[in-house]
Structure 1
Amino acid sequence: MPKALQGLHIAVTRPAHQAAGFRQALQQAGAEVLLLPLVEIRPLDNQAAIPLTLAQLSRHDTAIFISANAVEYGLPALNPAQQTVLHQMTLGAIGKQTAKALQQHGFTANWVPAQGFTSEDFLALPQTQHLAGRHILIFRGQGGRELLADTLRERGAQVTYLDVYQRVCPQIDANHLKYLHEQRQLDIITITSSEGLLNLLTLLENPDWIKTVPLLVGSQRMLATARSAGFIGTIRIADNPGDEAMLQALIHWAQEFQA
């Protein structure tokens, strides 16, 4: 019996250090996989502010981790005493993957959306509605959306950012995508961040042909980014950008594609 993704050529654009599990799942389903990391996660160029902020950790009662990367880059910056303090705080995670990353390091997230992985999902939690007197530290990547902090402040909290990593456009040659497209060896590109999609256009110098290639995106926001950027081809949306949701969405797409 043919496998669900047999013979399909699928580009995986996750950051390189996060792509292995998804690649393996696709290969086990029969796909030919092209790894094309469109976002590089790396330490901050200037990390001087991190120990200064963490020295004030005990002044906070709540810590929110934006992503698994915030966990992986944030926790190693804490000394043993600060880790003890963190264990005593209320911890929030933007999505189950982030909560899982915390758990793997021995921390339990108290505030986690049952469904979803966005700031909007987190802000819908009952625990985040009335925050007068809360002192919240947000572990995040440099830059990013301001919605979370702005809304928490509107609800009464005092909020401090702690940038622990940065996202950059990788220095890779993506021009072989055009050859694969011309040879019918690029059936769909999986997109797990809006930033990655825009980086793809930057790396290719924004050609028209890429905008006809089918995409699988991990959220409605990514869909909106793609359409605003001029993508006119088929775009499918997974329930979330996690490996399992993306895999299931690809299988459903493949069933229609091959019908």
Structure 2
Amino acid sequence: MNSVIVMTQTSNYSQDGLSIVHKPLIKIEPLSFNLDLLKLNYDWILFSSKNAVKYFYPYLQQTSYRYIAVIGKKTKAYCEDQGIAVDFCPNDYSQEGFLADFQASAHAKILVPSSQAAQPLLVDTLRDRGLNVTKIDLYKPSAWSSHVTDIDQLLAQHKVGAITFASSSAVNAFFNRSLPETTKAFSNIYAIGQQTLSTIQQYGVEAKVADEQTLDGLIEKVKESWM
């Protein structure tokens, strides 16, 4: 099969026997924030992505906390690679899975360093439970326009068999514009999880969703549905 799988997340991914073209749709821009927030005492620090760990790591030693919670197998693995002990990671790697399993004492103080563009579900739900949540906007995503154009060209040349999306930010970078006809007509699209799927559907587009919210799970869904 000559068609390629276009993957749009920031991290590289490969699998033997598959022709994968990596076209990240998002660039990451670090943001400044109020450093006084690091002087508070937290019960939990919650990392929902590898990027959150990466960009908060320089501040971790300055922060007083008791426990670390993470969402996602890759996030947990990255923490462990950096020598950060993880106290809680749900078996279901989605935000919904985290919210279903996470338990904290009443009025616990939770620090959530994350993207400025992060979906509000996580923080809002924790606050609704009476937890004291502080969110730090660590970085913001911006569209990688040349890669968007590259994907359009591959689609126009009928070289693409599937496109995968691993975040709402990547979805917005791709669909929030006037689409070329060949791009608009392409329908073999895959989402890593329900939140990413929901964002895709906001553009009137349908997608298949991975059974496990990991890049491996995403590729397994592509293989199961397309190959």
TM-score surpassing 0.5? Answer: yes
Deviations 1:171-224 (A, max 9, x none): 42533434432332112111111221121124x633343232211211233333
Q: How big is the shift at 1:143?
A: 3.6
CA distance in 2 between partners of 1:7 and 1:70 (Å):
36
Instruction: Please list, as runs of the form range in 1=range in 2, the aligned pairs for 1:146-157 lying within 5 A after superposition.
Output: 146-157=120-131
Q: Which residue of 1 aligns with 2:38?
A: 54
Indicate conservation of the 8 Å contact 1:189/1:216, yes or no: yes
Q: 1:178 to 1:71 in 2, by over 3 A?
A: closer
What is the Cα-based RMSD across aligned positions, in Å? 2.3
Q: How big is the shift at 1:126?
A: 5.0
Q: Which residue of 2 aligns with 1:12?
A: 7
Q: Which residue of 2 aligns with 1:166?
A: 140
CA distance in 1 between partners of 2:194 and 2:107 (Å):
34
Q: Which residue of 2 aligns with 1:90?
A: 67
TM-score (norm 1): 0.77
Flag the structure with larger Rg.
1
Deviations 1:29-76 (A, max 9, x none): 141x333211112211xx142x322132xx212111121111011011
CA distance in 1 between partners of 2:47 and 2:107 (Å):
20
CA distance in 2 between partners of 1:196 and 1:107 (Å):
28
CA distance in 2 between partners of 1:177 and 1:100 (Å):
30
In structure 2, list runs of 5 or more residues that go unmatched: none
Indicate conservation of the 8 Å contact 2:92/2:98, yes or no: no
Q: What secondary structure sits across from 1:136 in the alignment?
A: strand
Q: Which residue of 2 aligns with 1:69?
A: 51
Q: Which runs of 4+ in 1 moved over 6 A?
A: none
Deviations 1:135-185 (A, max 9, x none): 111111114222222222232221111222221112425334344323321
- Answer with 245-254 or 205-214: which moved more: 205-214
Aligned residues: 226
Indicate conservation of the 8 Å contact 1:111/1:125, yes or no: no
CA distance in 1 between partners of 2:153 and 2:146 (Å):
16
Indicate conservation of the 8 Å contact 1:9/1:34, yes or no: yes
Q: What secondary structure sits across from 2:198 in the alignment?
A: helix
CA distance in 1 between partners of 2:5 and 2:54 (Å):
28
CA distance in 2 between partners of 1:181 and 1:156 (Å):
48
Between the aligned residues of both structures, percent identity stands at 26
Indicate conservation of the 8 Å contact 2:93/2:214, yes or no: no
Q: Which residue of 1 aligns with 2:113?
A: 139
Indicate conservation of the 8 Å contact 2:114/2:138, yes or no: yes
CA distance in 2 between partners of 1:182 and 1:154 (Å):
47
Q: What secondary structure sits across from 1:41 in the alignment?
A: strand
TM-score (norm 2): 0.87
In structure 1, list runs of 5 or more residues that go unmatched: 1-5
CA distance in 2 between partners of 1:72 and 1:98 (Å):
10
Q: Which residue of 2 aligns with 1:39?
A: 26
For 1:209, the aligned partner's letter is: T
Structure with more of its chain in strand, by fraction: 2
Q: Which residue of 2 aligns with 1:236?
A: 208
Indicate conservation of the 8 Å contact 1:95/1:112, yes or no: yes
